[in-house]
Chain A
Amino acid sequence: MAKVRNWQLGRDMEYPYVADRPAKQFTMIMDTNKCIACQSCTIACKSTWTWGKGQEFMLWNNIETKPYGFYPTGWDVNVLELLGEQEWDGDDVYTGQTVFEAAPAGERVLGWAPAEEDWSHPNIGEDEPTGSADETTYIPDKPHSLMWMYYLQRICNHCTYPACVAACPREAIYKRPEDGIVLVDQTRCRGYQECLTACPYKKTMFNLETRVSEKCIGCYPKLEQGLQTQCTTACIGRLRLTNYLSAPDEVDPRKPADFLVHVRMIALPLYPQLGLEPNVYYIPPVHVPTKYLTQMFGPGVERAVEMYRNAKDDPELLGLLMLFGSTERIWHTWDVSDGVARAYDEDGEEVVAVPLREPTFTRPFEFATEVAGEPVTGFRHNT
């Protein structure tokens, strides 16, 4: 075991390999407040990468309805249960154990292996109920006692300290030094499925035809062309940003991900207490109880929620959020002036410009026009 620095925990931690941060780190920022669970992202990913025979169970991207949705079933509650109750010392330092530190004898990671049926209900808690009406979250009384739910967007976190890498006895999983994307070497993997047990986010999956593990590849062929991922560009809610994150000692506030994660701290990691330093960051849903959010995104949720609620008065932040989903290209800096947010590439060339407020047009409810030279009047319906 080596000692590595996990900035999300505010401390050093044990990890089987020495720290070796990539030149830049792939990251995705998700604004959970905007998701409508349309699954356009899921389909964009599936129809690009995983529609082959043997990949039937695989959703590298999935959307789950929290608090009762999971894919695979129970992925997060199971690992939290295994780890047991753990503590943060205030907002800064995690004093509990990570999945590496809590590994039992003979294992490198504290994990569990989902059964095949756990992969069979990607929409549980949403269209698929968790049981019969009298024993589940179906709530006949109004107003409902459970007053919240939200959608959690999930891809592989391309972790700084991946549990999949730690657990693979073949060293068949590696983190690309150039962008931090975590990949399963398809020539080296021998299908032991140790990564499926170890990854607490359950983001490696087993191909039933080729008998080896596969996982989200961060759409690296697109990244290499300066393009954002399929799930990002397909997103109807325009809530995703594909970008690069600097290490905490190299933060550049002009870069969008650094600004959101390190400067404004509005985007938070998913279950940071597990110790993987995941690189997908979430703007937490503003209507969900703090206690639940703290368990999921760590301390700092109250500040992030407050910041989001005030974004309308913060043009720099608002402009950045408006630029989400506005272009397929990866952009590197942005500014806001005269009510317009502009994104720039690495050479400072403008990539896209978006108004902070869309102009409004009013069309009359009653209208008059001509059809085949004859005057026609009517009422506008919702089309």
Chain B
Amino acid sequence: MAQAKITRKDALLYGGAAAGGFVVGGAAVTAVAVAVENEKAPVAGAPIVARYVDGDLPETDPGSDAWGDAQPTLVALAAQQIAQPFLEETLVTELDVRALHNGSSVALLLEWDDDSVDDLDGIRRYHDAVAVQLPTAPGAAPVLTMGAPGIPVHILQWRATWQRDIDSGGKTGVDQIYPEVIHDVMPDDVLPPRTAQLYWVAREAGNPLAQVRRTTPVEEVVAEGFGSVTHLPKQTASGHGVNEDGRWRVVVAVPSARTGVGAPLEPGSSWPAAFAVWLGSEENRGGRKHIANWQTLVLEAKA
């Protein structure tokens, strides 16, 4: 397959177009995943139909049997080359997406191949992540530039680092990056705790990225263009990710009401949805990511 990229021209050209049939790098997406037992084979370019579930959604369980009822859609990924800095090479070409909803929440299961688990940040060391982008208002899909001034988009991003923060109870720093580390005197050895913490400036200043004690691995933000991601004061998203056999399986869920963020994700409605995947081992971070063009997310009407 030719090297896949999404350039600024593509973004403007395809941005408002209906989902599906997206062609990358001159080659139509033909890959078909092998179906496993009780699993539906992903279908390229098909709308992502969120099946209605009467009851709880598997919001933190990527292994739940409930996912077997949802039809996966194969979404083509390509290197982000719309805004600087670019991702040079496409190293993951497919994201499988399926969805469920129960009238009060929407949950998506996102799966992609990645045989290296990158869940610690360090010097030139980046993490795996996946994001779902939804418009805040109904209508045609906005341009594929993470919104635009006055046209905010709603983004849910799961990060492997945040998952590890939760799974390990916040043990995701120097001692984990360098297990053999020997510390000299550290502020908390000699200063009262409140004073010692001031040395973690970003954490003390309230930067959400700098926290290690958290309750969800999914960050909820709005953006009005590249570089404008803004952490929402009220975080409502949930999720969970596991990597098994070289594949990430990540659930990202959000309440349908989207209070204070955008129009509710009503049963029976249909929404453009775009995706992004980061491979930490390939130094993906920020705009250096794999992106998908707008797809269609259909929320089944209540039974």
The answer to the question of B121 belonging to the interface, with a C-beta cut-off of 8 Å to chain A, is: yes
Taking CB atoms and an 8 Å cut-off, the chain A residues in 113-163 that contact chain B are 113-116, 119
Chain A residues with Cβ below 8 Å from B188 are 53
Chain B residues with Cβ below 8 Å from A114 are 123-124
Chain A residues with Cβ below 8 Å from B186 are 51-53
A116, B123: Cβ atoms under 8 Å? yes
B86, A107: Cβ atoms under 8 Å? yes
A116, B124: Cβ atoms under 8 Å? yes
The answer to the question of B203 belonging to the interface, with a C-beta cut-off of 8 Å to chain A, is: yes
In the complex the two chains form, what is the Cα distance from A53 to B177 in whole Å? 12
A53, B286: Cβ atoms under 8 Å? no
A107, B84: Cβ atoms under 8 Å? yes
Chain A residues with Cβ below 8 Å from B210 are 186, 210-212
A193, B285: Cβ atoms under 8 Å? yes
Which chain A residue shows the least CB distance to B203?
A210
Q: A113-B124, A169-B85, A171-B227 are in contact. Are A187 and B205 (CB under 8 A)?
A: yes
The answer to the question of B161 belonging to the interface, with a C-beta cut-off of 8 Å to chain A, is: yes
- Choice from B81, B187, B227 contacting A169 with Cβ under 8 Å: B227
Chain A residues with Cβ below 8 Å from B40 are none
In the complex the two chains form, what is the Cα distance from A188 to B228 in whole Å? 10
Taking CB atoms and an 8 Å cut-off, the chain B residues in 159-175 that contact chain A are 161, 173-174
> How close is B100's CB to chain A, nearest CB, in angstroms?
30
Contact with A along B177-211 (1 / 0, CB 8 A): 10001011111100000000001111101110110
Contact with B along A203-216 (1 / 0, CB 8 A): 00011111110100
Contact sample, A vs B, 28 pairs, CB 8 Å cutoff: A53-B173, A53-B187, A54-B174, A57-B123, A106-B88, A108-B84, A116-B125, A169-B83, A169-B85, A169-B286, A170-B229, A170-B286, A187-B202, A187-B205, A192-B288, A193-B123, A193-B285, A206-B123, A207-B202, A208-B121, A208-B174, A209-B173, A209-B203, A210-B202, A210-B210, A211-B121, A211-B210, A214-B202
B interface residue numbers (CB < 8 A to A) = 81, 83-86, 88, 121-126, 161, 173-174, 177, 181, 183-188, 199-203, 205-207, 209-210, 226-227, 229, 283, 285-288
Apart from A53-B183, A190-B229, A192-B286: 11 A-B pairs, beta carbons within 8 A: A53-B200, A106-B85, A113-B124, A115-B123, A169-B83, A169-B85, A170-B227, A186-B202, A192-B285, A209-B174, A209-B203
